[in-house]
Every structure is written in structure tokens, then in C-alpha cells.
């Protein structure tokens, strides 16, 4: 069965520092991978997605992610964090060919220190 693991429950980072959120997946077929951000009490905002092609994916808000098939990973990065990046981040893998049915990781809460 498919699964997504986000090993870090909480990450605290200083404003201006770099950020990397880890995501490992388990899925038998070629995965469709997503990163979402959720602010408290809000819905999900798509940061970026990987379906095929270039394994380094650029997203919104200065985020990028790299798909590494050999490591079954899809880690999210941002070179310089802003206070507004404090939120919950979810990695997800699509478990349907259409790419629309998602299995989510447990999430990583990011706290940004001034």
C-alpha cells in the first residue's frame, strides 16, 4: 500500500535561514507528488507538484523540491525563510492514475524565529 512519511514533526528555523522538509514515499508505480501548505484553520495551498520530467521542480513562494527516485524522496527546500512561511506543510502522493486521489504524510509544522 502507498504511504508518505514526513520524518520531522516540527522544525524551527530562523528567519532568513534555509529550510528543508523531508518526504519519503512508498508507491509501486511512478508517483505523482505534491507539496501543500496549510495555515492555521485554513485549507490547502498547492506549493508545487511533480508528475514527470525535470526532477527539480520550482513552486510558488520561492519553494522548490527535488524528486529522487533512488531514495524515494521528494524533499522541499527554500533558500531563505520568511516569517510568513510559518505553517504546516504536507507532502502527498497521488494514488490514482489521474493524479487526483491523494495520500498525505503526517505533516511538518514549521516555526520561524525572528
Partner 1 sequence: GAVVSQHPSWVICKSGTSVKIECRSLDFQATTMFWYRQFPKQSLMLMATSNEGSKATYEQGVEKDKFLINHASLTLSTLTVTSAHPEDSSFYICSASSNFNTEAFFGQGTRLTVV
Residue 94 within binding range of partner 1, rule CB under 8 A: yes
Nearest-approach distance from CB 72 to partner 1, in angstroms: 18
Residue 78 pairs in a beta bridge with 19
Residue 40 within binding range of partner 1, rule CB under 8 A: no
Distance CA 108, CA 103 (A): 15
Distance CA 113, CA 81 (A): 10
Residue 41 within binding range of partner 1, rule CB under 8 A: yes
67-86: contacts with partner 1 (CB under 8 A):
none
- Tell me the three cell numbers of residue 70: 533512488
Residue 106 within binding range of partner 1, rule CB under 8 A: yes
Beta-carbon neighbour count of residue 72 at 10 Å?
16
Span interacting with partner 1, options 14-22, 23-31, 64-72, 105-113, rule CB under 8 A = 105-113
Amino acid at each position: 500500500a502507498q504511504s508518505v512519511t514526513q520524518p520531522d514533526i516540527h522544525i524551527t528555523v530562523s528567519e532568513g535561514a534555509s529550510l528543508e522538509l523531508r518526504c519519503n514515499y512508498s508507491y509501486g508505480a511512478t508517483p505523482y507528488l505534491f507539496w501543500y501548505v496549510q495555515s492555521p484553520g485554513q485549507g490547502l495551498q498547492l506549493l508545487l507538484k511533480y508528475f514527470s520530467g525535470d526532477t527539480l521542480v520550482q513552486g510558488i513562494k520561492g519553494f522548490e523540491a527535488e524528486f529522487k527516485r533512488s531514495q524515494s524522496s521528494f524533499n522541499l527546500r527554500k533558500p531563505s525563510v520568511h516569517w510568513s512561511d510559518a505553517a504546516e506543510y504536507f507532502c502527498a502522493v497521488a494514488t490514482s492514475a489521474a493524479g487526483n486521489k491523494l495520500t498525505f504524510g503526517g505533516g511538518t509544522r514549521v516555526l520561524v524565529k525572528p
